[in-house]
Amino acid sequence: MKRIYLDHSATSPLDKEVFEQMRPYFSSKFGNASSLHSFGREAYEAVENAREKIAKVLNCKPTEVFFTSGGTEADNWALKGVALAKKDGRHIITSPIEHHAVLHTCQYLEKNGYRVTYLPVDKYGFVKPADVEDAIRKDTILISVMHANNEIGTIEPIEEIGRIAKEKEVYFHSDGVQSFCKIPTDVNKLNVDMFSISAHKFYGPKGIGALYIQEGTKIEPLLHGGGHERGMRSGTENVPGIVGFGAASELGLKRMGKDSEKMISLRDRLIRETLKIKDSWLNGHPVKRLPNNAHFCFGLIEGESLILYLDERGIAASTGSACSSKSLEPSHVLLRIGLKHEEAHGSLRITLGRENTKEEIEYVVKVLPGVVKKLRAISPFKSRKELSSFKSTEED
Ligand SMILES: *Cc1c(COP(=O)(O)O)cnc(C)c1O
**Predicted pLDDT at 66:** 98
Atom of ligand 1 nearest to the CA of 323: 1
Q: Which atom of ligand 1 is nearest to the CA of 72?
A: 9
For residues 208 and 177, is the Cβ–Cβ distance under 8 A? Answer: no
Integer Cα distance of 91 and 191 in angstroms: 20
Q: So what's the pLDDT on residue 327?
A: 59
Distance between CA atoms of residues 202 and 141, nearest Å: 31
Give the closest residue (by CA) to ligand 1 atom 6: 71
Query: How far apart are the CA of 73 and the centre of ligand 1, in A?
Result: 9
* Global pTM value: 0.94
State in Å: Cα 71 to ligand 1 middle.
5
Q: Which atom of ligand 1 is nearest to the CA of 148?
A: 13
- Looking at residue 342, its pLDDT comes to 87
Q: How high is the pLDDT of residue 394?
A: 35
Of how many residues is the chain composed? 396
Pocket-testing residue among 201, 295, 331, ligand 1, by greatest number of atoms within 8 A of Cβ: 201
> Which residue's CA is the nearest one to ligand 1's atom 14?
177
DSSP state for residue 26 in the 8-state scheme: G
Q: How far is the CA of 292 from the centre of ligand 1 (A)?
A: 16
Pocket perturbation via mutation, ligand 1, pick of 95, 178, 208, 295 by most ligand atoms within 8 A of CB: 178
- Ligand 1, atom 10: closest residue by C-alpha: 71
pLDDT at residue 322, as a whole number: 52
- Is 323 annotated as catalytic? yes
Residue 391's pLDDT is what? 43
Q: Which atom of ligand 1 has the smallest separation from the CA of 321? A: 15
Query: Cα–Cα distance between 391 and 2 in angstroms, integer?
Result: 36
DSSP class per residue in 90-156: -EEEE-TTS-HHHHHHHHHHHHTT-EEEE--B-TT-PBPHHHHHHH--TTEEEEE--SB-TTT-BBP
Q: Each residue of 146-200: pLDDT tens digit? A: 999 999 999 999 999 999 999 999 999 999 999 999 999 999 999 999 999 999 9
> What's the CA-to-centroid distance between 239 and ligand 1, angstroms?
20
Alpha carbon nearest to ligand 1 atom 5, residue: 71
Q: How far apart are CA 212 and CA 303, in angstroms?
A: 36
The set of residues, in sequence order, having a beta carbon less than 8 Å from that of 160 and lying 6+ positions away, is 129
Strands 4-5 and 315-316, how do they pair?
Answer: parallel
pLDDT at 303: 87
Distance 177 CA to ligand 1 centre (A): 6
For residue 334, give the amino acid letter. Answer: L
**pLDDT, position 378:** 86
| Ligand 1 centroid, distance to 16 Cα (angstroms) | 22
Please, what sign has the CA dihedral across residues 121, 125, 129, 132?
positive
Q: Which of 106, 181, 297, 323 is catalytic?
A: 323
Q: What are the residue ranges in the chain where pLDDT is below 70? A: 321-328, 381-396
What confidence tens digit (pLDDT) does each residue in 97-148 have? 999 999 999 999 999 999 999 999 999 999 999 999 999 999 999 999 999 9
Domains, the chain: 4-9+256-395 (3.90.1150.10), 16-252 (3.40.640.10)
Ligand 1 surroundings by CB, under 6 angstroms: 70-72, 75, 99, 101, 146, 150, 175, 177-178, 198, 200-201, 209
The minimum-distance atom of ligand 1 relative to the CA of 75 is: 10
